[in-house]
Amino acid sequence: MGYDTGDIIDERYKILSPIGKGGHGTVYRAMDLELQSQVAIKFLHADIAREPGFATRMQREARAMGQLSGTSAVQVFAFNKASGGGMYLVMEYLEGTDLGRHVQSYEEHGQFMPVRELQELLEPIATTLEAAHARGIIHRDLKLANIFVLRSAGRGRVRLLDFGLVKDMKMDPLTMQGMVAGSPAYIAPEAWLGKPDLIDHRIDVYSFGVVVFRLLAGQMPFDPKQTIDKLILQVTRAPRPSLHALRPDLPARIDEWVKKALAVAPNDRFQSVQSLWQALQGVLQS
């Protein structure tokens, strides 16, 4: 169900305005009447909320997010069931834009994002992912749209959004609402191949490599506009693209980094986000 401006949820949260819709629900800007502070509330789609065990899984994920306090993960304050039956998450309210729109501000003028700014924005994301993986938490939907660049850098310049809001990775990825439909070009080969026993934190390593490639190259490593069948073939079988060919100003060694960051086999890939990130720094500083 939808909400209108002025609606009050559970006698505490006053809806101020809609923010947007995603694969998992609708997000509103709201006022926490008890604390007199703005928050963001995501109301989850009814079909997702009705899935067996969903509430238990979401409660577990919300608790897991509490473990990431102090990182650049978006803060989750509460996970509740509204009096009308719908489930919702209360999160910190962010002002700014996502990383996709942010990088477009450069590309519209024929420029690449400066390497120094890329490092500034992604360093906290790498650190947050590493902290999450150490706690057994996998993001599973890492993409430019889920990295938010804040207008004010008072509490850090970026936030990582939507931790734990995708379905169980043991499911067929083609049936996972939002993840494949919204971001197929970021998905690791092992997810497409339907091998749940291979799916672990290294799917985030692959996706983070795609994020870096996209920011440095100004394009995705594999064309997201082609049919899903062709995209899957490229992701799971094709040679990794040459970033140096697209950016001759970058060291030639960047292509070896790409091959390892986007390796098809998880065991051939960087085994952690931190090792991927440190190797990238070594290349960019050479």
Q: Does domain 8-92 have CATH number 3.30.200.20?
A: yes
> What does each C-alpha distance from 258 to 131, 142, 192, 210, 261 come to in angstroms?
23, 17, 20, 9, 5
Written as six digits, the tokens of 6 are 């002025």
User: What per-residue confidence (pLDDT) applies to 43?
Assistant: 87
Residue (of 278, 210, 275) closest to 240 by Cα position: 210
**Alpha helix positions (H), the chain:** 46-49, 54-66, 99-107, 115-134, 179-182, 189-192, 202-217, 228-237, 243-246, 254-261, 273-284
Give me the phi and psi of 73, to 5 degrees please: -70, 140
User: What per-residue confidence (pLDDT) applies to 87?
Assistant: 83
Who's near 263: CB < 8 A, 6+ residues apart? 206, 240, 269
CATH superfamily of 96-284: Transferase(Phosphotransferase) domain 1 (1.10.510.10)
Question: Using an 8 Å Cβ cutoff, are 87 and 80 in contact?
Answer: yes
Which residue reads 């190259």 in tokens?
217
User: What per-residue confidence (pLDDT) applies to 190?
Assistant: 92
pLDDT in tens, the chain (286 residues): 678 999 999 999 999 999 988 767 789 999 999 999 999 998 887 776 677 666 666 676 677 777 888 899 998 888 887 776 778 889 999 999 999 999 999 999 999 999 999 999 999 999 999 999 998 888 888 999 999 999 987 778 999 988 754 433 333 444 443 334 337 899 999 988 877 777 899 999 999 999 999 999 999 999 999 999 999 999 999 999 999 999 999 999 999 999 999 999 999 999 999 999 999 999 999 8
Is 168 labeled as catalytic in the residue annotation? no
> Which residues of the chain does CATH 1.10.510.10 include?
96-284
> Which residues of the chain does CATH 3.30.200.20 include?
8-92
User: What per-residue confidence (pLDDT) applies to 165?
Assistant: 46
Selecting among 141, 162, 223, 249, the annotated active-site residue is 141
Rounded to an integer, what distance in angstroms lies between the CA atom of residue 33 and that of residue 17?
Answer: 15
User: What per-residue confidence (pLDDT) applies to 120?
Assistant: 96
pTM for this one?
Answer: 0.87
Three state DSSP letters for 79-143: EEECCCCCEEEEEECCCEEEHHHHHHHHHCCCCCCCHHHHHHHHHHHHHHHHHHHHCCCCCCCCC
